[in-house]
Structures are given as structure tokens and as C-alpha cells.
Amino acid sequence: MNKIVQWSEIAPMFQDGMSVMFGGFMGVGTPQGIVAALLKSGVSDLTLIGNDTAMPEVGVGPLVSSGKVAKVIVSHIGTNPITGKKMIAGELDVDLVPQGTLIERIRCGGSGLGGVLTPTGVGTVVEEGKTKMAVGGKEYLLELPLRANVAIIKAKRADRAGNLVYERAARNFNPVIAFAADLVIVEVDELVEIGEIDPDLVMTPAALVDKIVLSQGA
Amino acid sequence: MEAKEIIARRVAQELKEGYVVNLGIGLPTMVPRFLSKGVNITLQSENGFLGLGPLEGEPMPGVVNAGGIPCGLVPGAAMFDSATSFALIRGGHVDVTVLGGLQVDEEGSLANWMVPGKMVPGMGGAMDLVNGARKVIVAMEHCTREGEARLLERCNPTHGKVPRLDGGYGTCRIQYFTR
């Protein structure tokens, strides 16, 4: 099965109203080429799920600025003033989730689990509307799984089968979201033949990857 | 010496040999400068690694701290994904976290992620750190720029209150570090 696609094939993979999980932390590990293609596709009413909205020109910032995003589920928006402005103006729904809870909800969504019990958020606004459970005398919140229609991932290297290797701290959410979406699209800097990545060093197994596109300028 | 340096110097005295430490953005990042000779700590960065160090030379691809700023890696550093990073944090594997704050109260609760009427940056990893780190140190000045007290009987929930839940890691101890 050929997973390698051209840039012209990326935009048609998106539709209005889709939920899109993205890798990256302050834009480091976000597939900027796919973000640009998504922006050009003109689709709207998107829900973005990932760590943060980075900065206006970085990460998913350009998508937020474009007005094509209806909702973000993130842990932090403080570095992108446009996200805050749109939230206050009522143009963007912002669901703030503690970072450790967000990644565990995604992990649950991708690994067949019905949720996770975490102490994080007990006694704060985060607990509002959630089921609380006591285990061993300690209180936990039941946090529910998160999945998306599409996951967009940035990897350093892929083989033609889709085994992935990430670079340094650009790993962050990427290997976790690879489990939690119906369609997994990866932007890579380097494409190698099958067998060239040591099996012990594979960070995301090829079985999770649907489409691979080579970074422009790589 | 500026107040921030005095605070950073005082916090550094709390860090012991071999500790795994997570430093928040801003004032906390000044702390390593003031570590005594012979005290070696490992810095955890919530975006996914152990072994954060100062930037030496040119920035390296993918090597940034939790503020997205280029940093260095010490020999023996280890990289991992965000689920592992927060398993370390929530699971009690981080000895100390040093966070900035807007307010702290008698119960040891911290408010640090909303400024009423101004902005809502979000909690990022702070709530998990406050719950999971074995010791939480809030490094901040006593008063706001407007002269309002930051040490209160009870935090204002509109500032994004994060209670310190004593999750079996001992009781909360509040120390007021003064100049």
C-alpha cells in the first residue's frame, strides 16, 4: 500500500466541521506544511485539539487567525493573543484542559479506554460537570476519551511503510495523537526505505500511519 | 541585587543533590544560576525531556524549553512524549516544582492562570505539577505592580485557583521567604 502522497492531495482530505488533532508544543512538532494546506483548502468550522495555539504566525496560529476554527481544546492560549481576542468576542469556543489531563484523554481515545481518573483539577473550575470518584480515600475526576477525524503529525524521519522517528522535543503530542484519529497524516523531513530504521528505534509503528507527505524544502 | 534574583537565590537553597526539578517560565528559570557548587540537579521540561541545560552555541532543531525558547541538553538527557512527561509529573517522580504565581493562600493553594478582565492564558501543565510534584515552591514577589498583596487568606478563584491536594506526599508547608 502506497502511503506517500503529494501536496496537492492533502487539501481534499479535509472537510468542513472536522475535528483535527495536531502535534506540537508552541509550534515545535507541528506540521507547518499541512497547516498551510489546511488553510488553503478553505474548509471551516474546524475543531482543533492539541497542546496550545502557539503564536499568530506559528503552529496552528494561522488557522486560528483565519476564522476557520470554531473550537479549540487546548491547555494554553496565553502566547497567542488572537485566540484570547476571538474567545472574548464570542467567535471561538475555547475549552481549556490541564495538559496532563488532555494528553491522557487523547491516550484513552486511542487505546480503547473509557476514561481516566486523575486528581488534577479537583477543587477547581475544571471539576465542574464531571463525575467525581473516590479511590482509596482520594478524590479523582473521571476524564473522558478524546478522538478526532484527522491527526496531523510532524516527524523527523519515516520509512515508506510509515514507521516514524521524531526529533528531540518535537515529539510531544505526536506519537499519542497517532492512535486517536480516523485518518493519520504525517509530514516528514526525511523519507527512507523500509528496513532503514532500526525496529528498536521506531517511535510510532507504521500500522498507525495512513498518509505521508515530504516537507517542502526538505 | 534585584528582588527577583534574591528570590531565585533563596529558592536554589531548597534544591538538593540529585533532585529532579521542574521550573516554570519567568523567575523560576533564574534558579539554576544560584545552585551551590557540588549540587547537581536534573531539570525536567514538561514538553518532553529530562536533562535540560543552558543553550551553548547555535539552537538545535527541536530542542526548546517549555516556553518554546531554544535551550541545551546535558549529557545523559532523555526525550519522551507528553504522556510520559505527565506520568513523571503526576506520578510523584518530580521532587520539586518551582512555579510563578499570581496569588498564594494559607491552605497552600496557588492562583496562576487567569487575570480577571485581562486574559485567560490557561493552566498548561501547572495543575498537574501542583498536584504531582513532591514539593511545590511558588517563587513570586509579595505584591503586584499595583501594590496589592499576593499572599492571602484565600486565593481568588477568578485568578485560576489550583489547590494543593495532599496526595500522600506529606503535608503542605508554607514558608514565607523574605529579603
Q: What's the pLDDT tens digit per position in A112-131?
A: 999 999 999 998 889 999 99
Query: Is A157 inside a domain boundary?
Result: yes
Residue B165 has pLDDT above 60, yes or no: no
What does the block give as the cell for A53? 495555539
- DSSP for residue A215: P
A53-57, B65-69, B140-144: range with lowest mean pLDDT: B140-144
So what's the pLDDT on residue B158?
64
Evaluate whether residue A136 is within a structural domain: no
Q: ipTM surpassing 0.95, yes or no?
A: yes
Strand runs labelled E in B38-172? 42-45, 49-53, 72-79, 96-99, 103-105, 110-111, 135-138, 151-152, 161-162
Question: How many domains does chain A divide into?
Answer: 1
Q: Establish if A84 belongs to a structural domain.
A: yes
Taken in order A146, A150, A156, A160, the sign of the CA dihedral is positive
The candidate with the shortest Cα–Cα distance to A4, out of A208, A165, A214, is: A214
Whether residue A36 lies inside any domain: the answer is yes
CATH number of residue A39's parent domain = 3.40.1080.10
Question: Confidence band (pLDDT; 50, 70, 90) for B169?
Answer: very low
Question: Taking CB atoms and an 8 Å cutoff, what residues of chain B touch A123?
Answer: 161, 163, 165
B49 in contact with A, Cβ within 8 Å: yes
On chain B, the residues whose CB falls within 8 A of the CB of A169 are 45, 47-49, 62-64, 79
pLDDT number for residue B176 = 53
Measure CB to CB from residue A121 to each of B61, B89, B127 and give the nearest one: B127
Structure confidence by residue, pLDDT tens digits, B110-136: 888 887 777 789 999 999 998 899 988
| Orientation angle between helical segments B82-90 and A99-110, nearest 10 degrees | 120
Question: What pLDDT was estimated at residue B116?
Answer: 74
Q: Is A140 helix (H, G, I), strand (E, B) or coil?
A: strand
- Nearest 10 degrees: Cα torsion A123, A85, A170, B80: 0
Per-residue pLDDT at B63? 97
Nearest to A176 among B68, B81, B163 (CB): B81
Please state which of the ranges A96-105, A136-145, B80-89, B133-142 shows the lowest mean pLDDT.
B133-142
CB A78 within 8 A of CB B160: no
Determine contact, residues B133/B87, Cβ cutoff 8 Å: no
How far B7 CA sits from the closest chain A CA (Å)?
25
Domains and CATH numbers, chain B: 3-162 (3.40.1080.10)
Q: Tell me which of A48, A60, A75, A208 to substitute to probe the interface with B (most B C-beta atoms closer than 10 Å).
A: A75
Nearest-angstrom CA–CA distance, A129 and A163: 40
Instruction: Indicate the range of A54-63, A169-178, B7-16 predicted with least confidence.
Output: B7-16
- Is A185 domain-assigned? yes
* Domain extent for A210: 7-113+144-214
Burial class (CB in 10 A: 0-12, 13-18, 19+), B86: buried
pLDDT at B84 > cutoff 80: yes
Closest B-chain CA to A123: B163
Active site residue B46: yes
Plot region of A195 (φ>0 → left; ψ -120 to 50 → alpha; else → beta): left
| Higher pLDDT pick, B96 / B101 | B96
- Listed as own residue / partner, the contacts of B32-35 with beta carbons closer than 8 Å and 24 or more positions apart are B33/B8, B34/B5, B34/B8, B34/B9
Closest CA of chain B from A3, distance in Å = 24
d(CA B22, CA B45): 6
Chain centroid to Cα B41, Å, comes to 14
pLDDT at A154 over 60: yes
What share of chain A has pLDDT > 70, as a percent?
99
Measured between alpha carbons, how far is A178 from A21 in angstroms, rounded to an integer? 9
Q: Which residues of B touch A74 (CB under 8 A)?
A: 122
Q: Is the confidence at residue A174, as pLDDT, over 80?
A: yes
CA distance A106 to A153: 14
Residue A19 belongs to a domain: yes
Check if the beta carbon of residue B22 is closer than 8 Å to that of residue A99.
no
Whether A62 has a pLDDT exceeding 90, the answer reads yes
Please enumerate in sequence order all residues whose Cβ is within 8 A of that of A116, keeping only pairs 6 or more positions apart, or say none.
A101, A104, A105, A107, A108, A142, A143
Chain B contacts of A171, Cβ < 8 Å?
Answer: 48, 62, 79-81
| Cα of A2 to nearest chain B Cα, Å | 28
Rounded CA separation A4/A216 (Å): 14
Domain assignment present for A47: yes
CA distance B70 to chain A (A): 10
pLDDT of residue A157: 98
